[in-house]
Amino acid sequence: MRQLTFLEKGKLEWRDVPEPALEGGGEALVKPLVVATCDLDLWLARGKLPYEGELPIGHEGVAEVIDVGDAVSSVKPGDLVSVPFQVACGECHACSRGRTGNCERVGRMATYGLPIGENHGGFLSDAVRVPFADAMLLAVPDGIEPEAIASLSDNIPDAWRSVGPQLEQDPGSELLVCGGAGSIALYAVAIAVALGAGRVDFAGGGGRDRELAERLGANVLEPEFPERLGPYPITVDFSASHEGLACALRSTAPDGICTVNAIYFEQSTPLPMLEMYTKGIRLHTGRVHARPAMERALDLVREGRFQPELVTGERAGWDDAAEAFSAHDSKLVISR
């Protein structure tokens, strides 16, 4: 089968690789139909990730089920499914508590199409093997366009977890999103508005992100991060910059929570610890536990409260994926 492989900045190649086969009764094979680029893919395409090597690419998408093992009961061939980017069993100690990103029955950080952790192949290929199919696959409800929810595998649930549980705990709260280059901040704005945040302020971010944030309902502040804003009971940092991170933390109200979705690829990162201590700020960072959050985000789409298609930008056909991926500049959706 054909599989798109990332080689280096600006260079990808379709390769012929052996087609995966079912390796157990609880598994499924799926054929990706629509694939979106994750914010990390943009970094990869631009050579900004500290990574060298060849990588089967793509880890956000909607697929058609093409085969299932005897023990699979929730999906059948022909079904449209969203496939989480993380491989998880759904039953171990961590999974049963919703922490599917740290499943204990797979290798550390087992994911599709990513240069970190155990790699299970990329979605830009003709077939993908899904272990634990009943626990992993999420059926796409009728009436929802696969293109609209291509990012439900990763970036959309990543956005949901940064504002959803926080707004459930503190309904109607005002919220600060520190943006950067990437879609997750924009999904977070849209989800926070859908969940009834009192106000969503958006600081930082590039031109397109700032325009989109405003269209999605945010109150857009300055492009540069000041020392502090607010204060806000809920803050989120997507900036991947020291200024954005410090601004988010210093802008968090006493006993508030700051979620840091941005990845800081460095050994240590400065934090305003004294201010955090004196105000009692909770800082949470880490990878999303995608599978449970996918359902919550999909509910918002189904209810018509969240339109993720407003965030995506470029489009490309499957055969143009190599060129489109290496040159993409916004959230790219590749369709068969």
Q: Kindly state the tokens that stand for 217.
A: 């309902």
Backbone dihedral angles phi then psi of residue 49, each to the nearest 5 degrees: -90, 140
Determine, following the binding rule CB under 5 A, whether residue 89 of this chain makes contact with Zn ion. yes
- DSSP conformation letters of 274-310: HHHHHHT-EEEES---HHHHHHHHHHHHHTTS--GGG
Q: How far is the CB of 104 from Zn ion (least distance, A)?
A: 5
Q: Pairing between strand 61-68 and 28-36?
A: antiparallel
Q: Kindly state the tokens that stand for 287.
A: 């990878």
**CB-nearer residue toward Zn ion: 86 or 173:** 86
Using CA atoms, how far apart are residues 152 and 156, in angstroms rounded to an integer? 5
Determine, following the binding rule CB under 5 A, whether residue 110 of this chain makes contact with Zn ion. no
Return the residues of window 138-157 that contact Zn ion according to CB under 5 A. Answer: 154
Determine, following the binding rule CB under 5 A, whether residue 103 of this chain makes contact with Zn ion. yes
Nearest residue to Zn ion, using CB? 38
Match 């924009």 to its residue by tokens. 186
Q: How far is the CB of 305 from Zn ion (least distance, A)?
A: 24
**CB-nearer residue toward Zn ion: 66 or 92:** 92
Q: Kindly state the tokens that stand for 167.
A: 């707004």
Site size for Zn ion (CB under 5 A): 9
Return the residues of window 49-88 that contact Zn ion according to CB under 5 A. Answer: 88
Q: Kindly state the tokens that stand for 226.
A: 């000041």
Among 66, 92, 263, 283, binds Zn ion (CB under 5 A): 92
Using CA atoms, how far apart are residues 34 and 20, in angstroms rounded to an integer? 19
Q: How far is the CB of 318 from Zn ion (least distance, A)?
A: 20
**CB-nearer residue toward Zn ion: 135 or 253:** 135
Return the residues of window 25-54 that contact Zn ion according to CB under 5 A. Answer: 38, 40
Using CA atoms, how far apart are residues 42 and 70, in angstroms rounded to an integer? 39
Q: How far is the CB of 300 from Zn ion (least distance, A)?
A: 20
Q: How far is the CB of 290 from Zn ion (least distance, A)?
A: 9
Determine, following the binding rule CB under 5 A, whether residue 283 of this chain makes contact with Zn ion. no
Using CA atoms, how far apart are residues 68 and 276, in angstroms rounded to an integer? 50
Q: How far is the CB of 196 from Zn ion (least distance, A)?
A: 27
Residue numbers of the site for Zn ion (CB under 5 A)?
38, 40, 88-89, 92, 95, 103, 105, 154
